[in-house]
Amino acid sequence: MQNLDQFLRTNGLEIIDGFKYVSPLPGGGTNFTALFEDGSKKAVAKFFFMGPHAITEKRFLNELQNHQQMLMYSDVLPKIYTSFVSSDGLLRGYLMEFVDGTSLETLIPSSGFGETNELHGAFFRVVWAYHQALRGHVHGDLHPGNIFFLSNMTDWLARKPESPEVRILDLGASISPFRFGYEETFDADLWSDHHKRFAGSFYSLAPEFLTGGYTDAMQSPGKLDCWGLGLLLHKMTTGQLLKVADSLGHFAASISDGRLQVRLDQAIDQSINDYHLKKLQKLMLRVNPAERIDLVSATAFMAQLHNHDYELLSRKGAALDEYVSHGCDPEWHLPPHERTNSPY
C-alpha cells in the first residue's frame, strides 16, 4: 500500500501502544499487516477495514476472540499486546508479538524432506503445536506460510525441549465450534460468511464442508484440520502439492462420485514408499470424516514413527487399524490399575 505511513498518521495509528510504524508486511488480502517497533522490540499490527455491513466487524472480532481464547492455554500463537481503532472508526485491528523464526515454507526442501526422521520430527512439532494452541478450535488455513519454526531440527532434537518451539499464525479462517453448536450462540451472518470465504480457496478445505457432515465433524478435535494437515504432510514429504481438484465444482463432483478418494489413494501410493507413513497419509486424507483419523491419534502415530516405536512398527494391516482405533495407545487393552501412568 503506497503512502501507508501517511494513511496511518491521518487515522491516528502511526504509533500504537508505544510502537511506531516501520513498514508494510507482505500478504493480508483485504486486510493488511505492518511492522512496528519500540526501540529494539518489534511488533506486528493487523488491520481490518470496517465496511458498511456488520459482517466486517464480526470477522475481526471472531479472529481476535479466538486468538485471545487460545492464548489462555498456550504460547504457540503470538502474544497480543493491544487492540485498536482508527480515529474515524473505519479501521480496527490488533498489535501482536513479532515472530522471529523461519517459515515452514522456507524450510521445506524443493523435493521435500523425504521419508526421513527429519520429516517425522518436523511434522510432529507442527501437530504438537496445533494441539497446544487450537484447543477445539478449527484453524482452517494451515499452509506452510502460516507455520514458523523458532529453532532448527538439529538443535531441537539435540535439546529435546518440552515444547515444539513452533508458532502458528493467521486465525482469519478460524472457527470456534462452540459459536455454532448452540442455538443461543449461533450467528447466521458469520456462518454464511465462513462458507463464502472458504469457497474462494478450497485447497485445504475438508470435503465435509461441502456435505452435510460439517457441524458434526467440528465436534471431533482436529477432524477438519486433519485434512489440511494431511495435505501439508504430503507437501513436507515430497515437496509437491497433492492435487485435489481443478476447481470447486470438480472438487464437489469428485466427492459425491467417489473419485476423489481413489485419486488421492493412488497419488499417495505412487509418491510414498514407507508402509506406515503411507498409512498415516491415507488415514488423514479420508474423504469420509467418520473414517478419518482424529488428530490426537495422528500425533501419537507420528511421534511413534519418529521414535521408531516397536509398538507401531510391528503392526500392519488389521492389527495396525485396531491400534490406530485405540489412539495408538500400546496399553489400551490394560485395566486402569495396570497402566504405567496409573495412580493406583
What CATH number does residue 82 fall under?
Answer: 3.30.200.20
Do 45 and 60 meet the contact criterion of CB atoms below 8 Å apart?
Answer: no
Which one of 43, 76, 97 terminates a domain? 97
DSSP state of 183: T
**Average pLDDT over the chain, rounded to an integer:** 86
15: left (phi over 0), alpha (psi -120 to 50) or beta: beta
Q: Does residue 308 form part of some domain? A: yes
Query: Whose CA is closest to 34, among 17, 51, 18, 14?
Result: 14
Do 168 and 82 share a domain, yes or no? Answer: no
Output the CA–CA distances (angstroms, integers) from residue 24 to 1, 3, 17, 102, 251, in the order listed.
Answer: 7, 10, 18, 19, 35
Q: Does residue 264 form part of some domain? A: yes
Q: Does residue 127 form part of some domain? A: yes
d(CA 283, CA 274): 14
Q: Which three cell numbers stand for residue 5?
A: 505511513
Beta-carbon count within 10 A of 36 CB = 25
Average pLDDT over residues 247-269: 89
Do 92 and 110 share a domain, yes or no? Answer: no
Q: Does residue 7 form part of some domain? A: no
Beta-carbon count within 10 A of 12 CB = 14
Q: Does residue 111 form part of some domain? A: yes
Do 136 and 272 share a domain, yes or no? Answer: yes
Above 70 in pLDDT, residue 191? no
At 312 the pLDDT is: 95
Domain around 59:
25-97
Q: Does residue 29 form part of some domain? A: yes
* Number of domains comprising the chain: 2
Do 165 and 217 share a domain, yes or no? Answer: yes
d(CA 344, CA 342): 5
Q: Does residue 125 form part of some domain? A: yes
**pTM for this predicted structure:** 0.87
Do 57 and 93 share a domain, yes or no? Answer: yes
How sure is the predictor about 325, in pLDDT bands with cuts at 50, 70 and 90?
Answer: very high
